[in-house]
Structures are given as structure tokens and as C-alpha cells.
Amino acid sequence: MPELPEMEAWRRQLDGAVSAFAIAKAGPAHIATLKTFDPPLSTLDGRRFEGARRRAKRLLFPTDDGELVLLVHLMTAGRLRYLRAGEQGPKTPALQIAFEGGARLVLTEAGSKKRAGVWLLTREAAEAELAHLGPEALGLGSERLAEICADESRRLHSLLRDQRVIAGIGRAWANEILHCAQLSPYALTKELTPEEVERLAAAIDSELARGLELRERGAKDDRTYRVHKKLGEPCDVCGTPIAQVDFEEHTIYYCPTCQTGGRILKDRRLSRLLR
């Protein structure tokens, strides 16, 4: 699933384009993709987006009259593309917004399962929809992170992925951040030293900034990630083969030398069964 760096790179790409022209026709949208029916999509016709915004892993397109927000959550397989006038696009996009002059914003989704979602909301409803999200991960800072770690008794990998606590990080960037911070994915928030909290806060910023820069240049996963999905490949810091462990429906990738003092992490679901 695209996370903060990927979504922010997309947002920057779309920001100027979506506000260049008024909307000629909003829709059609796939019935499984459009999650709201009131106001109807056609309410957007004739209005103009003020640009592209982002909150956590969602893209927001507010209208410049301050009334409506089109909210897009791409989930795993959704892709948003801006097609210039005359540019070929998919035959049946999950959502299409046609602009005056012929450009289009289209949402496509690979595979038959429609998981990506689109909501057309009033500003107030959009704010309520996003109210559960924690502070943005990029620029969080060590003071705020120390407060979060003191409040939540959690394993770090799980904490970083919880959008209600810190918004924008998923499993890929949680792997990258913890590797950069040289902390175990299983380390407990309340057991971190102040120095480790500093390191984690610095790694959140530096890794998300690194990811954003790479994604803006169009880098693919293989060049972007250093540990995520790199099982058996040498750690770029120490050369130890990257290891993996299953945890809470996710596969975690980590370096046993850099992060866990040489220990191989056990699958906690399995050890629960054996206990």
C-alpha cells in the first residue's frame, strides 16, 4: 500500500494539474468505489478544485468555494492518473473526473477486487472523517514521540503503523525506519531510553524524506527500500542477511545485527500457539 512518501509525491504531481481547469463532469464512478451518494458526484460539475492535499495516506481534493472535498483512499492497488486532453486512458476507470478543456483525472485499480474508495463530502464531514487520525509522521519530532511512547505500551512496529497514533506510516516504511534507527521491531515503547526515542524520531524524518525524494524522481520499490522485502540480501550497513518474521498479519523485515543484537525474532503468533 502506498504510504506517506508515495502519497505525498503523488499529491505534489497532481496539485497544479487538478486546479488548472474547472470540472466539466464528475463521474462515472464504480459502484464499489464511490462510498457516498449524498451529495451526488455531479455536485462537483462546474466547480474547481483548489489543489491536491494529503492527510496520512489519503488524498483530498477540496473545491475552491470551500464547500466540498473529494477524498480518495487508494488502498493497495488503486492508482490515480492525470491524463492530458486527448491522452489515452483506461476504458472503465473506477472513477473519472473530466475537466474543461479535455484533461481527466482517473482512478484505476488492478485486480477484480475494488478496495480503493472515493468519498464526496462537505468540508465539515471531511474533517469528521479524518478526526481519528494522529499527527502526521513527517516532522513529528522527538518531544511528541516521547509523549506518544509514554502513553502507549506497544511494540514499535505496531505503534508506527497505527494511524490513530501516528499518521502516514505502513509496514514498508515501519521496516525502513526501525532499521535506520537500529531498533528492534519488537522493542516496547515504554522501555525506550530518551536517546532511542531521539533516534527513532530522527529516523522517521530522514527515512520519510528519503522516500519522498526517491518517489518524486520515480524510483521503484527495489531502489527505494533497503530492508522491506529484501529477505536474504545483505544489510547495507553491516552486510548481515536481512531476516523476516511474521507479526500481526504482517511480515516484518529487519537486520539481526543492526537491530536485535544478533537475535532472530520469533513468530509471536506461532509461539502463542505453542505456549
Contact 70, 120 (CB under 8 A): yes
Q: Which of 151, 238, 241, 263 binds Zn ion (CB under 5 A)?
A: 238
235 binds Zn ion (CB under 5 A): yes
Q: Choose the binding region for Zn ion from 60-68, 185-193, 215-223, 228-236 (rule: CB under 5 A).
A: 228-236
| Cβ at position 260, least distance to Zn ion in Å | 10
182 binds Zn ion (CB under 5 A): no
| Cβ at position 213, least distance to Zn ion in Å | 22
34 versus 235: smaller Cβ distance to Zn ion: 235
At which residue does the C-alpha cell 536485535 appear?
260
Q: Supply the DSSP string of 125-186, one letter for each residue.
A: HHHHHHTT---BSTT--HHHHHHHHHH---BHHHHHH-TTTSBS--HHHHHHHHHHHT--TT
Spatial distance between the Cα atoms of 159 and 153, rounded to a whole number of angstroms: 9
| Cβ at position 152, least distance to Zn ion in Å | 27
| Cβ at position 245, least distance to Zn ion in Å | 15
What is the helix, strand, coil percentage profile of the chain, to 5?
35, 25, 45
Q: Coil, helix or strand for 11?
A: helix
227 binds Zn ion (CB under 5 A): no
Q: Which of 13, 182, 206, 257 binds Zn ion (CB under 5 A)?
A: 257
Which amino acid, one-letter code, is at 113? Answer: K
Position closest to Zn ion via CB: 235
The footprint of Zn ion (CB under 5 A) covers 235, 237-238, 240, 255, 257-258
